[in-house]
Each structure stands twice: as C-alpha cells, then as structure tokens.
Amino acid sequence: MNDIVIRIIFVAAYLILAPFIGGLLEGIDRKISARMQRRVGPPVLQPFYDVGKLFKKQVIAVNKSQIFLLMSYFFLTILTGAMFFYGTDILLCFFVLSTAATFLYFAAVMTSSPYSTFGASRELLQMVSYEPAVLLACVGFYLATEVGGHVGSFKVSDIAQADYSAIMYLPGFFIAFVFILTIKMRKSPFDTATSHHPHQELVKGLTTEFGARNLAIYTITEWYENVFLMGVVGLFIINNNPISIAVAVVVLLLVYFLEILIDNTSARVKWMTMLKGSWYVTIIAAGLNLVILMLL
Amino acid sequence: MPEMPVIPFLICFPIVAGLLMFCIRDRKLANAISCISAIVIMAGVGVLVAQWLMGDREPIDLYVDTELVDHIILGAEIFLMGLVTFLCFKYKRYWISLLSIGPTLLVAYAELFGPKVEEAAHIHVDHMAILMCLIVGVIGGLIAIYAGGYLIGYHEHHKEVEDRRHYFMMLLFIFLGAMFGFVLSDSLMWIELFWEMTSICSFMLIGYTRTEEAIRNSFRALWMNLLGGTGLAIGIVYFVYQQESASLSNLVALGAIGQTVAVLPVALIAFAALTKSAQMPFSTWLIGAMVAPTPSSALLHSATMVKAGIYVLFRLSPAMSGNLTGTMIAFIGGFTFLVASFIAIAQSDGKKVLAYSTISNLGLMVACAGVGTPTTIWAGVFLMIFHAISKSLLFQDVGATENAIHSRDIEDMHGLLFRLPKLAIFMFIGIAAMFLAPFGMLISKWSALRACVDAKNIWLVVFIVFGSATTSLYWTKWMGKIISLSHKTGEKLKDMSTIRENASMGIHAVLMIVVCALFPLVSNVFVGPMLVETFGKEDQVLSTAVLVLLVAIILFVFAVPALSYVYGRSVKINRKLSYMSGINTGEDREFTDSFGDSKQLWLSNMYLEDIVGQKKLLVPSQVFSLAVLLVMLSLIIGGVLS
C-alpha cells in the first residue's frame, strides 16, 4: 500500500511540477545561450510570460481540428510521463509517446500549409532517426536488470531500484541516447522540423500554423516531454542508493548544458546527415554494447 | 471418439459451392448464392468452434482409416498436375510444369509403391487448428461477401477486362475449402494436396485479367510456390521412407527431441513455408500478385493463404527451436521484416505499400516461429490474428476507394477524409491498428521484441528495433495524407461501395476493436492452451495483470482524442489562410507565382526513392538472402549426411 502511495506522489509531483521545471529549464537555457552569444538575454521567467500572453490571444487556426489533435498530443505526452513516474513498463511509455508524436504530425500536416507540411515531413524523419536508439535503450535497461542472475524487467521501478546504476552496463546505450536527445529536444544541428530560433528555410516549420493557445499548448507539452526525457537520463544513474539521486541530478544538468553547448556551436545539418549520423551512432555505440551485454 | 461431421462439411462445402457458382451465370442468383454460402461457411466455423469449446478442448484425432479418400486425394493431385501442365504449355512456360510433374509423380510413387505407412489419424483438431479455422472462416467469409459487391464496381471501372465473375468466385470458394483442409489435416499427404490447391488458386486468381502483366506475374507466383511445393514433397517422401509415417505431429515430436531423421524434412517444409509466406528472396511474387482484383489480394495474399506458411512454421517451431533450421528461419524472417519495411517507404501505390507491409509483418511472424520459444510463438500468434483482421480491412478499403477515385495512388488520396469520409475513416482505423499504441499489432510487436531479448537473439533485436522505426514512417505519412485538407475538396466523388462491401468492412473494424479489448481473454482461452499443446508448458510474455492494464490504457487513448474533439468543437476560432510568405491569393490552396498569376499549391509526401527504392534495395537483398538460405541449407543437409 505504502508503495502505491509513493508512486502516486511521484505522479502528482510530475503532473504539477513538470511544467514549472520544464519552463525554468527553458528560461535558463535561453539565458545561457544568450551569454554564449554575448547577449544579456531575457529574464529566466520569460518562457512563462510568453505562454501566459499566448493564452490571452484570440485563437487563430487554419483548421478547427488542429485543436483536438494538439490536445491529444498534450494529454498523451502527459500520460507518458505519468506512466514513467508511476514506474510502469518503459517500453510502453515510449510507445505511448510515439503515438503522441503522431498526433503532433497530424496537427501539422492536416492544415495542408506548405511550411508546416515540410516541417511535418522532416519530423517524421526525425522520428525514424531517434526511434531505434530509444527502443534499444529500453532493451538495455532490461538487460541491465538481468545482470547478476535477476529476472529481467522493463519496469521503471525495478530499474531504479537495482543494486548498480544502469550506466555501469550501458555506457554505449547512454551515448546513443544523449545523441538522439539533441533531436528530441529540437536542438541544432538536428532541429530540422522546427526550431527554437528563427528558422530561415522553413519559417517555423512544423509549428508554423500553431498560434495563440495552440502554440501555448504545444510549448507546455514540450516542457512535460523534456522533463520526462530528463527522467530517462536520470534513470541511467539512479539505483537503490539515495546518493545516486543527487548524482543523477548533476548528470542531467550536465547533459542539459551539453545540449545547450551543442545547440550554440553547430549549424543545422541536412536531414540525411541527421538520419545517417544517429543510426551509425546507434548501431556502433548501442549495438556494440548490446552484443557485449547479450554475450555476458 | 467424438464425431465431427462439420469438418468434412467445411472442406467439401466451399468446393461444391464454388463449382456451383461457376455454372450459374445469372448475376443476381450467383450473388445471392455466394452470400448464402459465405454465411453457411461462417456458421459452419461457428458450429466447429462451439463444439470444440463445449467439449473438453483436448486435441482430437479423427479419420484413421481413409483408403477411399486417399485415392481421391491422389487423383486430385494428378488432376492438378494436368491442369498446371496444360496452362504452362498454353502460355509457353514449359519448364514450370516440371515443378508440378516432378513432385506429384514423386508423391504418387511413394504412395503407391512406397513403404506401408503406419496407421495414424488424418485430421487433427487442436487450438491452433481452431484458431486458423476462425481466421479463415470469419475473414474469408466476409471477404467473399465483399467480393460480390466489389466486382460490380470493378467491372464498371475496368471495361477492358472480360467479366468472369463466376470464375473468380469459384476460385475464391475452392480456396476456402482448401484452406480448411490444410489447417485441419495431420496427414502430410493431405497437406501436400491442399498446399498445391492454394498455390494454384492463387496463380489462377492473379491471372484473372489475362493482361500481359497479369500472366507474367501469375507464372512468377506459380513457379515460386511450386518450388516450395517441391521442397515439401521431397521432405514428405523422405520422411515416409525413413520413418514409415506420414503424420505431421509425429514429425514434430521427433524433431523436438532432436532425432536426426526429422532434421531434413523439417528444414524442407520450413523452406516451403518461406516461399508461401513470400519471404526474401521469394518476395517478388506477392508484389506481382497485386495486379489481381482486390478481394483476392485481401483473402489470399494477406489475410489467409500467406498465413498458411506461418501456420506450418508455428507447427514446426518445437522442432526448430535452437537448431540450425530455426536460426535460418529466424534470420530470414527478421531480415525480410527490415528490408520490406524499407522498400515500403518508397512506394506510393497503396496496394504495393500494403503488399510490402504484409511481407514485412510476415517476416516478423516467421522470425518468431524460427526462435521457437513459447514466448515468441505467443507474440507471433497475436501478430497473426491482428494482422489478418487489419490487413483484410485495409485491402478491402483500398479496393473500394479505387473503384471511386479510379486510382490507388496514395497521393490521390490527399484529403480523402473530406471526399469519401466513410472509406477514409475505415482506412484510418485499419492503418492505426497496424502500428499505433494501443492497438494489438503494436502490443504484439512489443512482446515479440521482448521475447527475442529473452531468447538472446541479437540479430532479431536489431532488426525489430530498426524495422519498427521505418514501419511507423510509411504508415504515418499515409495517414497524414488522408486527413490533410485537400486541394480537391470541391470535387464531388461518388462512393461506389455497395452495402455488401460496407457490411464487411464495418464488421472488420468492429472485430478489430473487440479483439483488442478482449486481448486478455483471447490469451487465456486460446493462445495459452495452444502453447501448452505445442510445448507442454505455457509461457506468456505479458501477464494477465499487464494485459488488463493495457486495456485500461486503450480506453484512455481512445477517450483522449474523443473528448478533445468534443472540446475542440466548442472553441471559437478565427480561421485564417495558411502562411505562404504573404503571396496568398485569397484562396487557401493557391498562391501568386512570379508572373503574378495564381498557381495551385500541390503537396506531396516524400518517398526517398533514391535511398530505399525497390530498384536500389530489392535485388541486393534477394541475392544476400538467397546466399544465406543456400549456405544454411547446405549446412543442414551436410550435417545430416555426414
């Protein structure tokens, strides 16, 4: 019973805190980026002001159905995170997340607007680029729980309570996951579908036709998703030792900083380079790691 | 021993009904008879299943002494040989006839002059057979109902094709009878006949339009399937001579305990199954088969006949688990899954996408069978069930759409939701069921991945992981196309689908959602006991608790879009034109070009022809898989001989 209460607290904390953490991370991101570019940058709370303002605006859309598709994207992403923090099957979490991403694709493509359709097509290619690494990471977690003669498990709760940090056995999977995290977080050089910066070739790509409240919903969903992704990064570190939680926080802040650094030091690449790059890294880093783990 | 007269009925009735339909040229009467026959077949399956569920659900062996029937079967085989030889000579494909004459004479010789085969049951009813009967009966029956309606629209649209509906319906029904015979037989001699029957039905249906292309493709399908049939015949005769037995269950039992005598027949029968399930390097026949009218594609080339190969592999799986044959089958299956899903990305012809996706999914099932542990078979069986339902729905829908828009190109389905809403929604459900959470296909794929991780099969894990990524790509872009606002919205289209087609598609859609919701029940009542029968132990990938949780998530995932939809309708929005860098003309689908004229906006999906096109990938992967197959087969044969 106690166990369930803790799980529910985790879920509640995620539901309530995730948008704040996500927004804050974005604020810090913008600040650090600005400093890297020798600008002062906006206040740390700027993302919240932006979203607040978007909610007050009149809703403009090309098609009414965009709202319902974006809402589905929003709720399914939250469901993903809630399932993750409840401690269920991690593969299942990512399956629900990919269904959510499909709804985002529909919201963009259904307008038949040229820029948003291009962006959506590239979004699909991004999905193809990161999916193998994500699924392999799940397989990796499963194999890591198996080490030492235990029964393997995909459950987040089991993975988080292992005797050793998963990263001890999964360095290759971790590298691949961090690599594709750049795609998931829409950071340069892989922000082909839509970008946080002005996007020269596609206007705003995927999000071109999202305005006002729709854009606000999209932004908040991204915050939820980023917190979930950071949770997965943390899962590589966390074990049954409480100190590991502190280590995990440090690691994920470092990873976040790394993403900001990559974002600010690289130029956008063509989608083919992204696809090839992420598949090669997945095959080499995660694949080799997989072979070693399976032969153990 | 309980009597089950419904079994011979199920085998003979469709054949008789088919022959009857060939004779009746009055369309209304023929249509009525085909409808009634399809319903009778479904009722027959209902009786069989009810009888089975009411009994003690133990495997039943029937018909030990069948001398007369054996002679009839031999006669039928020789008749088929004559038919194939005649057609091969008529169309000047002389050498293909050898693939029919050789094996038939071999089997006939073994039966007439070979060793006396020990007494054994010829019919074997167990959970797997019942499940196959359900798939064949229900989906086959529905497709037969659909076919009558479809052909009306088809011949309206294709005036150049000679109207031979009676011939088409005859083959469809004979095929159903053969399929029932195939899944219920335990005698390898009987299996051989029914196997050939399905191959020849498929061949004749592909050639239905008698165009140059159809004839070429039908003969390609014929020789590939007959090649598999040759492997099957050699395997059977070898087993008969070595063991003086012609019982499939006996063969599997011997193989499962590692008897050398079973190695070669198992490998050869598995090889035959690869050809039937259109695995690499034999995939091309299934792509060519798409020239046939849609009901045959739905029934033979995706829902049932190609599953015959999978069915045989599931039967053989205890005898393949962990040996060289299993490794070969698992590798070829996994490889086919990946390559076919790549090539599917580059296809814009709807039916070709469905064909490649069928090959790809069959590959996954084949891989599951090749690994041959209870968990992989559990996943494989569910893949088979869900795939049969959703693919059949999709084929029927693409067929009905083609009759209305006179094209099956996905690009022409832009905005189908606004032009043919009913068909678009069926299509949307069908595609969603193929790959999205929470539908059964994805859950089955998930358990397949899990089972392969447990089986420590690195290759398969990599194949599945990359293959699922590419699978979502081609499905998602197709779905996006259907729901996009159209530049053709104004065009009025006439929905040609008749009540029979809609009934069939509607039942399919409902069936799929019901089976998804009843996942735990199907697992406990059918698949679990089936594994006990096959392996002596049950080993579910997903526990009942997880399955119930899944059902809860299914409801949630359905509820979210539904509720958001209701909410979205109430929101007041200001509708604006799409952003076009300020050169909109005022009409949403047009922009101003550099001459100041208005130009229509045309959006197209990407197909990446140069990267994953059929031209680029097909031949290399055929060569590679053929090499793997030959090397592995030589290793297996060499291992037996040394």
pLDDT-based confidence at residue B113 (cuts at 50, 70, 90): confident
Mean pLDDT calculated for residue range B186-205: 90
- Token pair for B528: 């679990």
pLDDT-based confidence at residue A294 (cuts at 50, 70, 90): confident
pLDDT-based confidence at residue B415 (cuts at 50, 70, 90): confident
Residues of B in contact with A75 (CB under 8 A): 560, 564
The answer to the question of residue B579 being in a domain is: no
Which residues in chain B (381-420) have CB-CB distances under 8 A to chain A? 414-415
Percent of chain B's residues with pLDDT above 70: 97
In the A/B pair of chains, how many CB contacts fall below 8 A?
A: 179
Q: Under an 8 A CB cutoff, do A294 and B487 touch?
A: no
Which range among A238-247, B468-477, B527-536 shows the weakest confidence by mean pLDDT?
Answer: B527-536
Q: Under an 8 A CB cutoff, do A64 and B484 touch?
A: no
Q: Over the stretch A118-162, which tens digit does the pLDDT of each residue have? A: 899 999 999 999 999 999 999 999 998 888 778 888 888 888 888
The answer to the question of residue B590 being in a domain is: no
B588 at A interface, C-beta within 8 A: yes
B406's torsion region: left (phi>0), alpha (psi -120 to 50) or beta? Answer: left
Candidates B375, B453, B541, partner chain A, best to mutate (most A CBs within 10 A)? B453
pLDDT-based confidence at residue A15 (cuts at 50, 70, 90): very high
What's the total number of domains in chain B?
A: 1
Residues of B in contact with A154 (CB under 8 A): 450
- Token pair for B596: 């100041």
**Alpha helix segments (H runs only) across A112-211:** 114-146, 156-160, 171-184
Mean pLDDT calculated for residue range B164-175: 89
Q: Under an 8 A CB cutoff, do B446 and A61 touch?
A: no
Q: What is the DSSP string of B79-140?
A: HHHHHHHHHHHHTT-HHHHHHHHHHHHHHHHHHHHSPPPPP--SEEE-HHHHHHHHIIIIIH
Quick check: ipTM above 0.85?
yes
Q: Domain coordinates of chain A in residue numbers?
A: 2-295
Q: Under an 8 A CB cutoff, do A139 and B580 touch?
A: no
**Predicted pLDDT of residue B182:** 92
B552 at A interface, C-beta within 8 A: no
Note the Cα B401 to chain centre separation in Å.
21
Q: Please compute, for residue B577, the number of CA atoms within 13 A of its CA located in the half-sphere on the CB side.
A: 14
Q: Under an 8 A CB cutoff, do B575 and A291 touch?
A: no
Q: What is the DSSP string of A241-295?
A: STHHHHHHHHHHHHHHHHHHHHHHH-PPPPHHHHHHHHHHHIIIIIIHHHHHHHH
**Predicted pLDDT of residue B153:** 81
Between A186 and B566, where is the model more confident? A186
- Does the predicted TM-score (pTM) go above 0.90? yes
Q: Which residue of A has its CA nearest to B565?
A: A68
For residue A173, the distance in angstroms to the closest alpha carbon of chain B comes to: 13
* Closest Cβ–Cβ partner in A89, A102, A291 for B458: A291
**Predicted pLDDT of residue B384:** 92
**Predicted pLDDT of residue A1:** 59
Q: Please compute, for residue A82, the number of CA atoms within 13 A of its CA located in the half-sphere on the CB side.
A: 13
* Closest Cβ–Cβ partner in B446, B462, B557 for A99: B557
**Predicted pLDDT of residue B231:** 92
**Predicted pLDDT of residue B492:** 66
pLDDT-based confidence at residue A164 (cuts at 50, 70, 90): confident
Between B283 and A149, where is the model more confident? B283
Which residues in chain B (467-496) have CB-CB distances under 8 A to chain A? 468-470, 472-473, 476-477, 479-480, 483-487
For residue A26, the distance in angstroms to the closest alpha carbon of chain B comes to: 27
- Distance between CA B134 and CA B46 in Å, rounded? 8
Helix (H, G, I), strand (E, B) or coil at A236: coil
- H/E run at residue B590: strand B590-592
For residue A28, the distance in angstroms to the closest alpha carbon of chain B comes to: 31
**Predicted pLDDT of residue B1:** 46
For residue B425, the distance in angstroms to the closest alpha carbon of chain A comes to: 14
Distances in Å between the alpha carbon of A33 and those of A139, A178, B511? 34, 19, 53
Q: Over the stretch A166-203, which tens digit does the pLDDT of each residue have? A: 898 999 999 999 999 999 999 888 888 888 877 667 78
Domain extent for B34: 6-569+617-641
For residue B311, the distance in angstroms to the closest alpha carbon of chain A comes to: 28
Mean pLDDT calculated for residue range B345-362: 92
Which range among B138-147, B380-389, B408-417, B482-491 shows the weakest confidence by mean pLDDT?
Answer: B482-491
- H/E run at residue B258: none
Q: Under an 8 A CB cutoff, do A132 and B465 touch?
A: yes
Mean pLDDT calculated for residue range A214-222: 93
Is residue B313's pLDDT more than 90? yes
Report for A12-21, B396-405, B503-512: range of highest mean pLDDT: A12-21
Between B161 and B39, where is the model more confident? B39
For chain B, give the mean pLDDT: 86
Would you say A234 and A256 are in contact if contact means Cβ atoms under 8 Å apart?
Answer: no
Report for A68-72, B515-519, B600-604: range of highest mean pLDDT: A68-72
In one-letter notation, the amino acid at residue A67 is: I
pLDDT-based confidence at residue B424 (cuts at 50, 70, 90): confident
pLDDT-based confidence at residue B490 (cuts at 50, 70, 90): low
The answer to the question of residue B611 being in a domain is: no
Note the Cα B58 to chain centre separation in Å.
28
B558 at A interface, C-beta within 8 A: no
Q: Under an 8 A CB cutoff, do A121 and B487 touch?
A: no
Q: Over the stretch B510-555, which tens digit does the pLDDT of each residue have? A: 888 888 878 888 888 888 888 888 887 766 666 777 777 777 777 7
